[in-house]
Structure 1
Amino acid sequence: MARHVARRDPRAHWLLLLLGMAVLLAALSFNAMVTNVTGGSGPSNAHASPAPRAVTTGGPVLRLDSPTPIARRIPARIIALTFDDGPDPRWTPQVLDVLRRHHAHATFFLVGARVNEHPELVRRILAEGHEIGSNTFTHVELSAVPAWRAASELSWTRTAIAGVTGREVTLLRPPFSSTTTSLTAPQYQALRDAAGSGHVAVLADRDVKDWQRPGVPAIVQAASPQAGAGAVVLMHDGGGDRSQTVAALDRLLPRLTREGYRFTTVSEGIGAPSSMVPAGAGARLSGTTLRWAQVGAGWLASAMNVLLGVALALGVARLAVQVVCAQLHVRRVRRPSRRRPEVNGPVSVIVPAYNEAANIAATVRSLVASAYPALEVIVVDDGSTDGTAEIVERMRLRGVRVIRQANAGKPAALNTGIRAARAELLVLVDGDTVFQPDTVYRLVQGFADPTVGAISGNTKVANRRRLLGRWQHLEYVIGFNLDRRMYDVLECMPTIPGAIGAFRREVLLGVAGVPSDTLAEDTDLTMKVLRAGWRVVYEEGAIAWTEAPSSLRQLWRQRYRWCYGTMQAMWKHRHALREQDAGGKLGRRGLPYLTVFQIVLPLAAPAVDVFALYGLLFLPWSSLALAWVALLLLQALTAAYALRLDRERLGPLWSLPFQQLVYRQVMYLVVVQSVVTAVVGNRLRWQRMVRTGEAAALVDSAPTGR
C-alpha cells in the first residue's frame, strides 16, 4: 500500500553468508579428515609389484633424494625402537615411563593431527631425549592418495611439530608400512616423492605387529633380533589398545640389555647427525596457526552437533506441544461442554483496497453472499490507480459502501473504515480474499464470550494447483493453523491475519486503531489487543480463501515484509516480557516462541544445510539417507495430521520432499535478509504483490476446495 522512502537493501551480507558457509564446510571437512585417524600396519596394496631389489634387500633407513637409493642398517647389538600412531594420551605416557625406567631412548613417528591434540606429550618426548619423526598428518597411505594430498600430509605434519617443539623433522615412517621386504613399487614411488621435500624414510627390520594383539610373549619374541644383529623395531604407542605393547616393552628392555644390546634413536643408531633441526619463525607461526585451526574446527564441529541436537529437540518438543494443544482445541470447539448463545448482531466488514482490480469483485460478491442477517461492507479505496473503486461502484450491491481516500497505506485505510463503520463487531478483510457463505457467521460466534476481544479466521490458499501454491498451502495448514490452535490454548495469539480477523469496535478504539509504525500491522495490532487484557482466539470454521504469491520473486517480497514487520512488532512489544498481567502471556509464551522458531532457528538453517552437504561428502550415505527419510516421515505425519484437522485432502503431501529442497531455503534466506535489514537500520518499504485474479477464479469453480 503506502510507499516509504528507503535505502537500497543491503547486499554485502550475501557474500559474507556464502563465505561463512564455505569456511564452515571447510572447517567441518578438515575436522572430519583429522579425526578419521586409524592405526595398524601392513600395506593395503600388498599384491602390487615389489620395489627395486636394491631397496627390498637393503637397510631400513632409506635416503631417496638421488638417482641411486642409499640404504643404511643399524649396527650389531644396537636396537632402534620406533613407535607409530601416537601420541596417545593413555599409552604414550606409559611407553615413556617404561623407557625412562630402563634408561632407553627411541624414535616416535607422530601423527600430525594428534600432535596438535596433545602438544604436551610431544614436548615430553623431546625433553626426555627421544627422537621425533613424521607418520603423516592423518595416517593416510601415501601411495593411495593424490600427489597434492600426500605433499600436504607431510607438510602439515612438519609444520605441526615445528609449532609445538620449534624443530623440523626429516624422518618419515609411511603409515601401513612394515619391513623393507614388503615394500611395493607404489610405496617406493611415494617415498621418492617425499624425499623431494627432504624426508628420509625409515622402515623396519622387525615388525612386531602389536596392532593384532598377539600376546605379550609373541611381541617380545618378534622384537628380539637373532645372533646379536642390530635392528629397527616397529611398535605402536597409539591407534588402539596398546596394553600388550607396554607390558612387552617392560619385559623386552631388561632382557635385551642383559644380552648386551643398547637402545637408541634411529639417527644415533646409524651414526648420523640429529634429524631434527631448529625451525624458523615462519614455520613455528604456521604450526601454531595450524594447531588453532584444528582446535577451532573441532569446536565448530562440536557446536554443530550441539546445534543439531538442540534444533531436533526443540522441533520434537514443538511438535508435541502443537499436537497436544491441537487436540485440546478440537475437543473444546467441536464438542463444547455447554451451548453458548448465538451471536447475530450487526457486523461491518472493512475491505482496504489498493489496486485490487483483479480480485475485488469476487471479494465483495462473496461478502454480500454471506449467510449473515445484518451485514454492511465498506470498501476503502486507498488511492488505487487501476479502477478498483469504480469496479465496486458499478456492481451496485446493496449494503456496500465505497470510501475513497488519497494513498496513505493499509493501516490508514483500515482506520478510515473503522471510523465509518456502524456496527459494534468489525471484520477486517484483505482485498484479495474470498469468503464462504458461512464464514462471517462462524467468525463472530466467539464474541459470545465477553472476554474475547478478537478472533482469527482460517486462511487457505486458493491457487494451489502449481507446485509453489501447494508448498504455501502446506505451510498455511501446518505452520500457521497448527500454531494458531496452540496459541489459542496458550492464550498468546501473536497474529490475526489481515486476510480474516474480527474485532470488537471498543477493542480497536481502546488500542487507538490499527498501528502504522510497523510493516506487520496485523501482528502489531494483535499484540496490542493481548496486552490490553483481551483474549484472542482462533475459529477453524471461518474460512477465507486468499491468493498466494505465484512466483518466487513475489513470495520473497511478501515474506520479507512479513518477517521484517514481525520483528518490528516483537521489538515494539518487548516490554511484555516484564509484564505480569494479560500481556505477560504474550511475553512469557508468544514472544519467546516467535524468537526461537521464526528467527533463531531459521538463522541457523544455513549451517544445518552446510552440515548436510558435509554429510554427503564424509558420512555413510546409508546413514544419511536413513536420517533424512526419518525426518521427512516425521514431517509427513505432522502434515497429514494438520491436513486431517483442517479437513483437507492428503494429496499435496507428495510435494513435501521437494519443499525441503527449495522452499525451506527461501524462507530462511528471507529471515537472514530481514535481520540484516534491521541491524543496519534500513527501513523496508511496502512490497505490494501483483494480483492475477487466479484465486477468485479458482474459488468460483471450486468454492470449498476440498
Structure 2
Amino acid sequence: MTTTLKNETLKNEQAISNNPATENDAVVFGVGRDEATWQPRSEHELAIERIDEALDLIAEANSVAAGKIPVTRFDVTVIVPVFNEIRTIERVIRRIEKVMPPATEIIIVDDGSTDGTTEWLQSLPHSASRQIICRRANHGKGSAVRLAIRHSQGRVVAIQDADMEYDPADLLRVIWPILDGDADATYGSRYLNGWDDSSVVHRLGNWMLTSLSNCLTGLQLTDMETCHKAFDGDLIRSMELRECRFGFEPEITAKIAAGHYELIEVPTGYQARSYKEGKKIGWRDAVSALACMWRYRKG
C-alpha cells in the first residue's frame, strides 16, 4: 500500500514538473481518471467550459419558450383536477402557462364534468406540454390526482385547483424549494401569509384537522388542507396512494411524515369562494379526513 502511494505521488510530481503552466495559471487535476487520457486543465479552460455549458442551457430554454424545439424533459408537472369549473378553467390554464417555467407540463383531469367543461377542454389545440384526461363519471379529487401522478414526468409534481381560489403564480414559491433540493415536499400555507378566513366554521374546521394531523404525524404544519402542494416527482410516483376524495390530503401528509421526508411550508395566497360559487368540500369530507388520519397514522 505504501509503495503504491509513493509511486502515485511521484507520477503526480512528474506531471506537475512537465506542465508548461506559469505560476499564475493554476492547474486543476482530475480525480479517479484514466492516466492514459487524463490531461491537466487550467482554471481559464474550465471557466470557458462552464460558460459554454451555461450558454447551451440558455439557448435551449429560449428555443423551448419560443416553441422552436419540443420539450424532451420536464422540470415541473402541474396537476389540475377539474369538476364543473367552466367559469374558471380557462383562466387557470392561461395563468399556469404564463407564470410557469418553459419546461412545464400540465396534466388536466376532467372528473366527469357536466357543465360544458369537458367540451371546452376537448376543443383546445394540441400541445406537447399539455395532457387532457376526460372521465365519464366523477370519482373525486384524490382519484383524479392519483391518475395524473401516474402520467407525470416532471422532477417536481405540484397540484393546482381549477377554481381560482389559489393563484398559480403563488405555486412558484411552492415548487422552488424542491427544485433547489431543499425539500422533498412543500405545502403552501394560507395562514403564513396572514390570511384571515371570514368563515368561522371553515377556520375552526381547518384548525382542528391540521392540529389533529400534527398530533398523529409529529409535524408542525399550519395548513394541512391546503391545495398548493408540491412533491419530488420520483418520490410521489413511488408512493401507493388510495384515497379518492379529499382524504388525499391527510393520507399524503401522513405518508410523507412516516417516511421522514423533508417537508416545509411557504406562504401562499387564497381567495375563498362560497358554496353558491361552486365550493365543493363539506362537513362529510371533514369526517372522512378524520377517519383517514387514523387509518394512515403510521403511514
C-alpha displacement of 1:566: 2.0
Residues 497 and 533 of structure 1: is their aligned pair in 2 closer, same or farther, counting only changes over 3 Å? Answer: same
Match of 2:152, as an amino acid? A
Distance across 2 between alignment mates of 1:434 and 1:393: 24
Match of 1:501, as an amino acid? K
**Residue 348 of structure 1 is aligned with which of 74, 77, 81?**
77
Whether the 8 Å contact between 2:185 and 2:230 is mirrored in structure 1 is yes
Distance across 1 between alignment mates of 2:169 and 2:239: 29
The yes-or-no answer on 1:570 pairing with 2:297 is: no
Distance across 2 between alignment mates of 1:428 and 1:523: 15
C-alpha displacement of 1:547: 2.8
The yes-or-no answer on 1:379 pairing with 2:108 is: yes
Q: Secondary structure at the match of 2:80?
A: strand
Match of 1:400, as an amino acid? R
User: Which residue is equivalent to 1:501?
Assistant: 229
Distance across 2 between alignment mates of 1:449 and 1:371: 16
Distance across 1 between alignment mates of 2:233 and 2:276: 35
Which aligned pairs between 1:664-703 and structure 2 lie closer than 5 A? none
Structure 2: segments with no counterpart, 5+ residues: 1-60, 62-73
C-alpha displacement of 1:458: 3.5
Larger relative contact order (CA 8 Å, sep ≥ 6): 2
User: Which residue is equivalent to 1:702?
Assistant: none
Q: Secondary structure at the match of 1:417?
A: helix
Residues 494 and 442 of structure 1: is their aligned pair in 2 closer, same or farther, counting only changes over 3 Å? Answer: closer
C-alpha displacement of 1:498: 5.5
TM-score normalised per structure 1: 0.27
The yes-or-no answer on 1:403 pairing with 2:137 is: no
Identical residues among aligned pairs (%): 21
**Residue 253 of structure 2 is aligned with which of 526, 543, 548?**
526
C-alpha displacement of 1:448: 5.1
User: Which residue is equivalent to 2:123?
Assistant: 394
Distance across 2 between alignment mates of 1:390 and 1:496: 33
C-alpha displacement of 1:479: 4.7
User: Which residue is equivalent to 2:264?
Assistant: 537
Whether the 8 Å contact between 1:472 and 1:548 is mirrored in structure 2 is no
Whether the 8 Å contact between 1:426 and 1:503 is mirrored in structure 2 is yes
Match of 1:512, as an amino acid? E
Match of 2:237, as an amino acid? L
User: Which residue is equivalent to 1:470?
Assistant: 198
**Largest Rg, 1 or 2:** 1
Q: Secondary structure at the match of 1:470?
A: coil
User: Which residue is equivalent to 2:145?
Assistant: 414
Residues 568 and 519 of structure 1: is their aligned pair in 2 closer, same or farther, counting only changes over 3 Å? Answer: farther
Distance across 1 between alignment mates of 2:239 and 2:223: 15
Distance across 1 between alignment mates of 2:235 and 2:223: 15
Whether the 8 Å contact between 1:376 and 1:400 is mirrored in structure 2 is yes
Q: Secondary structure at the match of 2:85?
A: coil
TM-score normalised per structure 2: 0.59
Residues 496 and 548 of structure 1: is their aligned pair in 2 closer, same or farther, counting only changes over 3 Å? Answer: farther
Q: Secondary structure at the match of 1:543?
A: coil
Residues 349 and 419 of structure 1: is their aligned pair in 2 closer, same or farther, counting only changes over 3 Å? Answer: same
Q: Output one character per residue of 1:233-275: Cα deviation in whole Å (capped at 9) or x when no partner.
A: xxxxxxxxxxxxxxxxxxxxxxxxxxxxxxxxxxxxxxxxxxx
Aligned length: 216
Distance across 1 between alignment mates of 2:283 and 2:183: 31
The yes-or-no answer on 1:549 pairing with 2:280 is: no
Structure 1: segments with no counterpart, 5+ residues: 1-343, 577-582, 584-706
Distance across 2 between alignment mates of 1:473 and 1:375: 37
Residues 521 and 393 of structure 1: is their aligned pair in 2 closer, same or farther, counting only changes over 3 Å? Answer: same
Q: Output one character per residue of 1:531-571: Cα deviation in whole Å (capped at 9) or x when no partner.
A: 1221221111x4354534349xx88x734133212211122
Match of 2:147, as an amino acid? T
Higher helix share: 1
Whether the 8 Å contact between 2:143 and 2:245 is mirrored in structure 1 is no
Q: Secondary structure at the match of 1:381?
A: strand
Distance across 2 between alignment mates of 1:569 and 1:494: 19
Distance across 2 between alignment mates of 1:494 and 1:509: 25
C-alpha displacement of 1:368: 1.5
Distance across 1 between alignment mates of 2:75 and 2:259: 24
Q: Secondary structure at the match of 1:503?
A: strand
Whether the 8 Å contact between 1:355 and 1:387 is mirrored in structure 2 is yes
Whether the 8 Å contact between 2:140 and 2:245 is mirrored in structure 1 is no
Q: Output one character per residue of 1:482-518: Cα deviation in whole Å (capped at 9) or x when no partner.
A: 97xx99xx744496436211111222223213x2267
Residues 355 and 531 of structure 1: is their aligned pair in 2 closer, same or farther, counting only changes over 3 Å? Answer: same
User: Which residue is equivalent to 2:161?
Assistant: 430
Whether the 8 Å contact between 2:83 and 2:112 is mirrored in structure 1 is yes
Match of 1:520, as an amino acid? G
Distance across 1 between alignment mates of 2:237 and 2:190: 25
Distance across 2 between alignment mates of 1:526 and 1:405: 27
C-alpha displacement of 1:475: 3.0
Whether the 8 Å contact between 2:106 and 2:131 is mirrored in structure 1 is yes
